Structure 1
């Protein structure tokens, strides 16, 4: 069946509209189911013979799961194990011990960035919640309860975690984009980090400094007690008397000279450790978090410095996403889990919890792969390429816009990324590796923008800190939009020099 490019463009626009309707309509269809339904209908409408539709969809979903699913699942296992061994708690202790009014937002930014490397946004935020509450409570009390330190602590964490979630592998969306666009994983990580640093600084500590006086926030006493063991009033009383009220309510004596207000709170902010109670090394915790990223970056470095050598061959093996994540999980098991005293059954249970929490995301990626396969098989991608060429729109800007629109309308950054990837893939077949990696980052930046009431992350942040919708809009949604815009600006600047 021969169809015109305009008809194919109409099919893809109608498919996107139907996808948005199914996900946001009263039925609130799961994104995976919506993607599958839309894939079947789009394939038939685009003229793919009916007997070939099931095979096209199966190959698309299976291909993405084979290349991306393993990395995502291993990342989920690593993230959960880091939390269950108490590794994240050790990093939290380090932040609390060095927090001061001028440095706290920057330390929180760094720690959130570190924790977020192997974890997804909601998972990373759950893990970092005790750190945020502990640091904010301590600084609120030390500063006389101005109700500004909650926002100055929360905003940098949102900026760091959302930036990683949308812009950097091994997160699911960026990994799916890397796979779909055939980008270099290590180069994408390297360029992504370069774009992420100024982005997180502007959207995190700097925006937090400006917005904090304009958003008077203090979580409910129940929330503060849940994450710190004390209420705000108890913490203020301990500060005024110079005593240290522990979670059990006992006095820990006088605080040290020259730091009575800050150290009086410190004993109340006891981070949870591993299930066995054995402390793990903070330095080792940081190493385990960063192992996969270091391995993937090492491959990029050797490929540039000594291509085709034996060292490059070893780095290519160890730096492939699947092997890098597998090594990270195994090293964490052999070091942190053993140091924490976890049994084999406890490690297995930890992995099971991590896998169950990410199954839905992987299904969405599979559905996106099926949709992408239909787009390719029908020739819709070529029609989009012709359209983009006729309007002279830069693929980076087009990718950012498509990711933004789909993410905003469907309520899923992952849906936005995987769908935009399938549409744009035909446009970059002859592009340079740097340009393709920048396109991955641009699409991810677009998917972060305008994450409002139709995104689960918005409601998670609102409820976790007892915010009103207006407060969550000024913090969560605005921060992620700043990350999107500033991140894309960084991508555009890099493209001027690298492509």
Structure 2
């Protein structure tokens, strides 16, 4: 490598250090501002002309938000609509009704897996908490469970929700990585599901069976349990009790048996995924120029697929009279407020990625990685892990790691790019600790001390991270 290459790598190291410092300093600079500041400073230090630097920032932020932002907004509204209508409650109750205590952790996993497709981790957990607490309290009264029933049922939900949030589109992190790495949507969904299933099983029900007997004293505050499970308690009260947890959105209390039926609810959740998979199938088996292939390719675009799922849920909700049009519009507006910060961070990450590429730092990374013979999947996972740990933001970890390793995979996509998306998403989940909001949500919800929360939230998400990497490396044998 030349001296100029070493200089660019040094600039990158300083940029990452500065990003971590700005986010974690006493000033607690917002990650979006920190990303923009670091992007400008990096471009100037690397010698990129000022007029081109501004263009890089605008193009990077604009293209990333154009690819991800609209889909993310529709996903947030779909998740809120399903929650407001009682659909998520209906799914969860349908899965858990008439089950045995031994099967309950697996059924909670299934419920969380379905509900987690359109919902962020924090929102999905808050939606599931009433059900988890109700069933756990019943197990507690029966005395049939070794250890804490709240841990036994909570850990599978944490594992499923975090895995989907970090490793599968249409969640914002994987979708951002997929766009930045030019990965194929259907292939990424396919390998993501293959990697996610064993990951969720091992980090969820299997680990729950082991850890629950070792934490018998874990029990949420009695008032919180009563608030989540008592008749006539609204979710507004629940969200207030968990005000420290981001993503806690108020909604009107609903009867989980009313609103959307289970079949319609599952259909609304799976429409976007199904359309995206149909697109991949069409591109695989149909010839270019075929009218059916063109149609399926169009409806399988993430934006169109998510729009279809949202419109289906909206139409059924209004048809069944679950709330007035004004209430629905207000609810949709509130759902967008909760993702504004995430959209800004994604845009800032896109700007940082584009500056790295346009300033020549991306080429320097590629040169260094090729010279050191580093496995790109391990490299992407490790960078996302370290950035997520040090900044307290999985989104920052994903978007920054994507920009750093993007030059190593080019623009051809393929299996390696899709596996890299999964590995980066898995890396962003590991070592989830006190600087992550999700850690505190779990800790306070389940009434844990720091050690107990570490043995559940931190360990579960680290297991998800490591197993996800292992699955990606295993599948890379076929790349």
TM-score (norm 1): 0.89
Q: What is residue 134 of structure 1 aligned with on the other side?
A: 134
Instruction: In structure 1, list runs of 5 or more residues that go unmatched.
Output: 230-245, 249-270
Q: Is the 1:183–1:433 contact (alpha carbons within 8 Å) kept by the matching residues of 2?
A: yes
Distance 1:333 1:247 in 2: 26
Kept in 2: contact 1:91–1:282 (CA 8 A): yes
**1:258-407 equivalence runs, <5 A:** 274=254, 278-308=258-288, 309-407=290-388
- Structure 1 contact 449–481 (Cα < 8 Å) conserved: yes
Asked if residue 81 in structure 1 is aligned to residue 81 in structure 2, the reply is yes
Which residue of the partner structure matches residue 474 of structure 2? 493
Q: What secondary structure does 2:323 align onto?
A: coil
Give runs of aligned pairs for residues 212-231 of structure 1, distance below 5 A.
212-216=212-216, 217-229=218-230
Q: Against the structure 1 CA distance between its residues 224 and 475, is the aligned structure 2 distance closer, same or farther, given a 3 Å change threshold?
A: same
Would the alpha carbon gap of residues 279 and 72 (structure 1) be closer, same or farther in structure 2, given more than 3 Å must change? closer
TM superposition shift of 1:97: 1.7
User: What CA distance in whole angstroms lies between the structure 2 residues aligned with 1:147 and 1:338?
Assistant: 45
Say if 1:288 and 1:328, in contact at 8 Å, map to a contact too. yes
C-alpha separation in 2, matches of 1:459 and 1:212: 19
Q: Which residue of 2 aligns with 1:191?
A: 191
Alignment of 1:162-201 (within 5 A): 162-201=162-201
Aligned position for 1:240: none
Distance 1:430 1:221 in 2: 54
5+ residue gaps in structure 2? Answer: 234-250
How many angstroms does 1:7 deviate by?
0.5
Equivalences, count: 459
- CA apart distance, 1:434: 1.2
- Work out whether residues 278 and 340 of structure 1, in 8 Å CA contact, stay in contact via their aligned partners in 2: no
- The answer for the alignment partner of 2:237 in structure 1 is none
Q: Which residue of 1 aligns with 2:35?
A: 35
Residue 204 (structure 1) aligns with: 204
8 A contact 2:65–2:343 mirrored in 1: yes
Q: CA deviation at 1:451?
A: 0.9
Indicate conservation of the 8 Å contact 2:92/2:108, yes or no. Answer: no
Change in 2 beyond 3 A, CA 1:344/1:377: same
RMSD: 1.9
Over residues 89-137 of structure 1, what are the superposed CA-to-partner deviations in whole Å (9 max), with x where a residue is unaligned? 2123224423321110000000001000011111111111112112211
8 A Cα contact 2:260 2:316, kept in partner: no
Residues 159-168 or 343-352, more deviating: 343-352
Deviation sequence 1:348-399 (CA, Å, 0-9, x none): 1111011001111010000001101110111101111111111111111111
- What's the TM-score, normalizing by structure 2? 0.92
| Secondary structure class of the residue paired with 2:339 | helix
Alignment partner, residue 238 of structure 2: none
Q: Flag the 1:478–1:159 CA change in 2: closer, same or farther, 3 A.
A: same
User: Against the structure 1 CA distance between its residues 295 and 439, is the aligned structure 2 distance closer, same or farther, given a 3 Å change threshold?
Assistant: same
**Larger Rg over CA atoms:** 1
